[in-house]
Structure 1
Amino acid sequence: MKTIGMLGGMSWESTQSYYTALNRGINQQLGGLHSAKIILHSIDFAELAEMQAQDNWDQAAALLGDAAVAVQSAGADFLLICANTMHKVAPAIQQRIGIPILHLADATAGVLKADGITRAGLLGTRYTMEQAFYRERLEAQGIDVLVPEAQDRALVHDIIYSELCQGIVTEQSRTRYLAVIDELAANGAQAVILGCTEIALLVQQQHSTVPLYDTTQIHVNEAIAYAIGHDS
């Protein structure tokens, strides 16, 4: 079994979801007392969030690059960046390490394609929804990406940072998210990507008739397959 490297803490709420899902998935595959071999570097998210807000992506890349080097030095065989938004700096991180990064957007695109989805809505932070770094990975795989209107993008972003990253889950926010999801579907989305690792804490498939793609679980499934040597 390969050792999984994790860059976490973005936020720690979603990182614990990753950790739990990875261990459960490995155990389901291998049985018995098996669990995942993991090296985790968890950052202080307040520092990174400040860099994001200031559009200081070079500094953010340096911070996560240092963490990735440490994870590689500790013996990881490959790396997961446990946040959708910070895949913006994945190329810069990859340049600093010799182990592969399993890219979350690529894994998501693969699942969408396999399911015959060609037009998907995207929810996430404003960076993920508004910048090209994430959408272009999906579009390169033939998937047309829809994002909410500006007011809804602000709503989705604010709930992530002011509530979900702090472990706050409310029915009011769930209702608001579901309205945004329904609007994306009305505009032609065949499915909606939960493109922020915290969103699955708030919205699951049971809450919506629109097909939802949880990027955290997709990323975890890719990592498990890679760790135990199966094709993803």
Structure 2
Amino acid sequence: MKKAGIVGGLGPESTVDYYESFIQKYQARMGSKQTLPELFINSINMYNIFKYISEDRLGDLSDYVGGAAKKLEEIGADFVIVSANTPHIVFNQIRENVNVPMISIVEATYEKADELGLQNVGLLGTKFTMAHDFFKKPFLESDKKIVVPSNDDQAFIHQHIVDELENGIVNDETKEEFIKISNKMIREENLDGLILGCTELPMILKDGDLDVPLLNTTDIHVNKMVDFTFSD
């Protein structure tokens, strides 16, 4: 049985979600509540992530998150994940410097979208995830369409992720506005799916809130973790 290493704290709410979800899915796979997986969590500061990206210090970002991943490798993790979408801006650089497998949330989400036959998806997340190309790249390379909200809507989403969701606050008015923005994208871009490209977004957007499938990146990522834990 492989031991997972989680770079967490990005933010705390989603790290808890990763941990609880991984435990539940592991126990379901084992068919018993009387067993628990061994895993490691290295919790770092998400505000450093935002600072490095805002200042275009991607080398420092890679060193910071990569250093956290290396520590997990050193204490015995058999594989490592980074429990947030935004730091995947430098995922490829980090993976090159870690000697155990790393599971990408972007690659896992693309594979799920492809499995579902989605061709035209929307992407919500922090302003960094929506503005940069790292999440869009695998979709565009496969001739799939991936779109983001308007600049004003991106600013609104980012502000409320950072000020509310990252601090465990779920506001009904914010949810209504997120749904309004999403429905506008679905209508204008004829979307057939929507990526929740921030691991806090499942706190506020749920299955059934919209008329297209929601790709919950946390859930998709955790499923890959469980599969790898049980792999040969």
**Structure 1 counterpart of 2:22:** 22
**Structure 2 counterpart of 1:81:** 82
Cα displacement (A) at 1:197: 0.4
Which AA in structure 2 matches 1:159? H
The superposition leaves residues 193-225 of structure 1 with CA deviations (integer Å, 9 ceiling, x where unpaired) of 000001011111132222111000000011111
Task: Pick the aligned partner of 1:189 from 191, 195, 209.
Answer: 191
Cα displacement (A) at 1:101: 1.1
Cα displacement (A) at 1:103: 0.8
Distance 1:11 1:97 in 2: 22
Q: Which moved more, 1:101-110 or 1:133-142?
A: 133-142
Identity of aligned residues (%): 28
Check whether the contact 1:181–1:210 (CA below 8 A) recurs between aligned residues: no
Query: Equivalent residues in 2 for 1:1-150 (5 A)?
Result: 1-32=1-32, 33-150=34-151
**What SS does the aligned partner of 1:10 have?**
coil
After superposing on structure 2, the runs of 4+ consecutive aligned residues of structure 1 that deviate more than 6 Å are none
Check whether the contact 1:148–1:184 (CA below 8 A) recurs between aligned residues: yes
**Structure 2 counterpart of 1:201:** 203
Aligned CA RMSD, in angstroms, stands at 1.3
**What SS does the aligned partner of 2:149 have?**
coil
Aligned pair count reads: 230
Distance 2:37 2:128 in 1: 31
**What SS does the aligned partner of 2:81 have?**
strand
Instruction: Flag structure 1 segments of 5+ consecutive residues without an equivalent.
Output: none
**What SS does the aligned partner of 1:205 have?**
coil
**What SS does the aligned partner of 2:212 have?**
coil
- Give the TM-score of the pair, scaled to structure 1: 0.95
Check whether the contact 2:49–2:87 (CA below 8 A) recurs between aligned residues: no
**Structure 1 counterpart of 2:159:** 158
Distance 1:190 1:130 in 2: 21
Check whether the contact 1:120–1:193 (CA below 8 A) recurs between aligned residues: yes
The superposition leaves residues 34-76 of structure 1 with CA deviations (integer Å, 9 ceiling, x where unpaired) of 2232111000223232222222221111111111110001111
Distance 2:231 2:31 in 1: 16
**What SS does the aligned partner of 2:136 have?**
helix
Check whether the contact 1:109–1:141 (CA below 8 A) recurs between aligned residues: no
Is 1:168 matched up with 2:175? no
